Structure 1
Amino acid sequence: MAHGVFDKTHAAAEDRYERLAYRRAGNSGLDLPALSLGLWQKFGTDYSYATQREIILHAFDLGLAHFDNADRYGPPHRAAQQVFGRVLAKDLAPYRDELVLSTKAGNPIGPSPYLKGGSRKSLLNSLDHSLRDLGTDYVDVFYHHRADPTTPLEETVGALAGAVQQGKALYVGVSNYEPERAHEAAELLRQAGVPLLVHQPRYSIFDRTPELNGLLSVAADDGFGLVVYSPLAQGLLTDKYLEGIPEGARAQNSAFLSPDVIDDDYRKRASALNDLARERGQSLAQLALQWVLRRPEVTSALIGASSTAQLDHNVQALAFPPLTDEELRLIDEHGVHGTGLKI
């Protein structure tokens, strides 16, 4: 994007880098905010653009300079990138150098074989579309969204490295990779001179997979950071579902959260965690965010938002004292792996 005279409609908060901690991504030189804004849900055409813009700008004012996107996010696909592109063009263009923009490709976005997978054609074509959607010359982080066992890893890694070599991305990442494949990708990228910056797995009190499958250890050994998604388990690690499913809640109409998982076991465990959070003077959501961020391998936790108040609430999680050994023991007792989730 050419720099010049901008129609500046948003003046960013001067104290935006005093609101939350930044953490180093693995062995790189890049710092990311402890909380990052994910545009996975609520940034499609089915939500108000005015609200979406307000949330994005407020996130930046709070210090959440990392915005996580993907070609698949909407609906329809690519809509979330286009929403962010509108905000970037109108409000945040003067701050482009202060933003970390991430996007992903590889999850299916259409019936064509070239609109999915890990081929060079699929990944680099999608990246070109994403740059047009976002209205920027480069993204800071380009991810392969999901491992593709039908494509040689060397080809996928070559496409990621090529994005950096072409100046279309500054760093690369992978998402939803099993630890062994993530390690292989890290080795191939290191040989190409483009180190793996980050891996994006799902991780929460109710989903301990990165602990159980060894990904935390692989991240530490290979020197990449983790940007974890669904730290609130699609809202299950909030007080929203403790008494049932409220009208308009995500569990009523989401493809990612079924009403069936909100059962007696879930409510019993979530209520016990909620009681612990209240004893600490915080919400269950704030406790859950603190819990994933306790790990040094975790660079940032992705949060969504449907309002600026929700953003404020989640950022306040970082102000509470560290979890004690006894509190961590209680979380392990009640935060049973697989609760409320289809593993």
Structure 2
Amino acid sequence: MALPLRTSSYLHSFRASKETPTDTRTSPPPTKALKFPPRLGPLFWPWEKVKIGPLSVSPMGFGTWAWGNQLLWGYEEDMNNELQETFNLAVDNGINLFDTADSYGTGRLNGQSERLLGQFIREFPGDKRTRDSITIATKFAAYPWRLTPEQFVKACKSSLDRLQIEQIGIGQLHWSTANYAPLQELALWDGLVAMYEKGLVRAVGVSNYGPKQLVKIHDYLKSRGVPLCSAQVQYSLLSMGRDQMELKALCDSLGICLISYSPLGLGMLTGKYTISRLPRGPRGLLFCQILPGLEPLLSSLGEIAQRRGKTIPQVAINWCICKGTVPIPGVKSVKQAKENLCALGWRLSSDEIDELESAAMESPRRMIQNIFQTR
């Protein structure tokens, strides 16, 4: 499916789709019309915005874990030109949320993702208003030497220096230390409060927090007059389960936006890989353990994608959107950005969602959780 490179083109396509609905999906055979149940909620297009605390962001963001990571994603510095093009295309088409972290990057490239994002913002060829609307959500690692709020504030200032921006959109704790260093946890929370009070970040969030720890930090920040706006967690058809659904319900009750990372299961939900065709490196070892049991889910994704005139990744990402989350699939090429953008502007039906979730429950193995994920 060809992707328009400008918002105006998207608007034209949207208007045309009102007159010719089959433009956005594969035309059904003339002898048997396909009927889809009513949609569950509103469509989202890239230029439409959702609220994360005080921020207005696109209904899908892009993750930048791969920008600087050589071990898992094979980053090389000669990729930078295409990464700039990828960033430009995303912003041109309404995406204004980019997720990163101060730990993203391998070895000497530690922090490279933030540096590249800052460079790409400065070199974006569009107008200033569009550039100013870009929201950076970065995560601060709970390194063992970050033992005081002041050290956490220093980490935030270092991220600002790498990004070369005046204020971070969402400052996030990358993980909780409750599992192994509970005494460090309060210092990290106070660090979030300090960076918010100093105006270094517009909003604060957490990552890899389970329901129990989420309630604790939410209540603590509230007592300090700081709203918790987001919780980032691994959330996909490959990792769905009781804990995932419990956390989503809790976020809804507390007014916290759930940001779903790894919505494609590190690539397992793209349909690109099989046991005989695995990615290189550590991902290949993981994939060979999980892929053999994914046939029901991948088959269901493929059937829905074919009916819809979409691709398997677009269906998997759209499921996350239908569940009320803001997915942040990773991108490292123009091709991936184009494909991911086409996950917006349509919506799975309730029957299709049930079909996918039923197939997901048949998988004997789930995606492994982040080692820092707490209860």
CA distance in 2, matches of 1:34, 1:82: 24
Matched, 1:101 2:136: yes
CA contact 1:266–1:340 (8 Å) conserved in 2: no
The AA in structure 2 aligned to 1:260 is C
* Residues 113-132 of structure 1 mapped to structure 2, 5 A cutoff: 113-114=144-145, 119-132=148-161
The letter for the 2-side match of 1:332 is E
- For residues 236-291 of structure 1, the C-alpha deviation after alignment (integer angstroms, 9 at most, x for no partner) is 11120147315xxxx31245962422543223431232123212221111111111
CA pair 263-139 structure 1, distance change in 2 beyond 3 A: closer
SS state of the match for residue 66, structure 2?
coil
Structure 1 residues 83 and 16, CA gap change in structure 2 (3 angstroms):
farther
What aligned pairs does 1:228-243 form with structure 2 within 5 A after superposition?
A: 228-242=260-274
User: 2:344: which partner in 1?
Assistant: 318
Q: Give the length in aligned residue pairs.
A: 317
Higher relative contact order (CA 8 A, sep 6+): 2
2:50, 2:284 → 1: CA distance? Answer: 29
| C-alpha spacing 1:119/1:214, structure 2 compared with 1 (3 Å) | farther
Per the alignment, residue 141 of structure 1 pairs with: 170
Deviation of residue 56 (structure 1)? 1.1
Are 2:216 and 1:181 aligned? Answer: no
Report the residue type matching 1:290 in the other structure: N
Give the SS at the match of 1:286. helix
The structure having more radius of gyration, on CA atoms, is: 2
Asked if the contact 1:203–1:210 (Cα under 8 Å) also holds between the matched residues in 2, the reply is no
Q: Which residue of 2 aligns with 1:267?
A: 295
Pairwise CA RMSD of aligned residues?
Answer: 2.6
Structure 1 counterpart of 2:113: 80
**Pair 1:169–1:99, CA change in 2 (3 A):** same
Tell me the CA shift for residue 131 of structure 1: 0.7
Closer, same or farther: CA 208–14 of 1 in aligned 2, 3 Å = closer
User: Within 2, Cα distance between the matches of 1:160 and 1:199?
Assistant: 14
Contact 1:242 1:270 in 2 (8 A): no
* Alpha carbons of structure 1 residues 210 and 292: separation in structure 2 relative to 1, 3 Å: farther
Give 1:340 shift.
Answer: 5.6
Q: Given the superposition, is the C-alpha separation of residues 17 and 139 from structure 1 closer, same or farther in structure 2, using an over 3 Å criterion?
A: farther
The letter of the residue matching 2:95 is L
Matched-pair contact (CA < 8 Å) for 1:179–1:213:
no
> Percent of counterpart pairs with the same letter?
22
Code of the residue aligned with 1:191 in structure 2: it is S
In the other structure, the counterpart of 2:37 is none
Equivalent pair of 2:206/2:232 in contact (CA under 8 Å): yes
Q: Whole-Å Cα distance in 1 between the matches of residues 206 and 9 of structure 2?
A: 29
Number of the residue aligned with 1:91: 124
Per-residue CA deviation, residues 148-190 of structure 1 (Å, 9 max, x unaligned), is 1223543222210110111111100000001111111111111
The two structures have a TM-score, normalised by structure 2, of 0.77
Q: Determine the structure 2 residue equivalent to 1:309.
A: 335
Is the helix fraction higher in 1 or 2?
Answer: 2
Instruction: Assess, with a 3 A threshold, how the Cα gap between structure 1 residues 324 and 148 changes in structure 2: closer, same or farther.
Output: same
Q: Structure 1 length as normaliser, TM-score?
A: 0.84
Residue deviations 1:200-235 (CA, integer Å, cap 9, x gap): 001001111475461112111111101110111111
Q: Is the 8 A contact 2:124 2:131 kept in 1?
A: no
Stretch deviating more after TM superposition (83-92 or 233-242)? 83-92
Counterpart CA distance in 1 for 2:138 and 2:314 is 26
CA–CA distance in structure 2, aligned partners of residues 166 and 338 of structure 1: 48
Q: Residue 305 of structure 1 aligns to a residue in which SS?
A: coil
Distance 2:232 2:244 in 1: 16
